[in-house]
Amino acid sequence: EVRVETKLGVPDWERMTPQTIILDIEIGMPHSRSCQTDAIEDTIDYGKVVARIRETLKEHSFKLVEALAEHVCQLILNEFETPWVRIKVAKPGILPGLKALGVIIERNKA
């Protein structure tokens, strides 16, 4: 679970101030070499993935949770050597009585 700040919401006023969203990210292993070598250079550096997500979500705003999820999926697929990615995006406190509401998407490298 990664908490990040971004501007998200359909009404303009909702995108005026960054808000916290929650991402659950699953990334497919590009190959099994790292399982044998136990070396970070043979796998995806998850710290770099999270840093890129934080950076891009500071730069962009989104009306829809779906668009944000697609943006993050494409970023991971295009910038890191992974065959697939699955992302759950949750926006806490969106409606009274709800802890969070969001979407899950999975994309494969073409």
- Whole-angstrom distance, CA of residue 2 vs CA of residue 15: 20
Q: What is the pLDDT of residue 90?
A: 95
CATH number at residue 87: 3.30.1130.10
pLDDT at 94 over 80: no
Q: What is the pLDDT of residue 78?
A: 95
Q: What average pLDDT is seen over the chain?
A: 92
Half-sphere exposure of 64 (CA within 13 A, CB side): 7
- Total of domains in the chain: 1
Q: Which is it for strands 84-92 and 19-27: parallel, antiparallel or unpaired?
A: antiparallel
- Whole-angstrom distance, CA of residue 72 vs CA of residue 52: 9
Q: How confident is the model at residue 100 (pLDDT cuts 50, 70, 90)?
A: confident
- Selecting among 58, 63, 91, 99, the annotated active-site residue is 91
- Whole-angstrom distance, CA of residue 43 vs CA of residue 30: 7
Q: What global pTM score does this model have?
A: 0.89
109 is catalytic: no
pLDDT in tens, 39-58: 888 888 899 999 999 999 99
Higher per-residue pLDDT: 30 or 19: 19
- Print the domain residue range for 47: 2-108
Q: Which of 82, 102, 78 is nearest to 4 (CA)?
A: 102
pLDDT at 92 over 80: yes
pLDDT at 96 over 80: no
The DSSP bridge partners found for residue 19 are 6
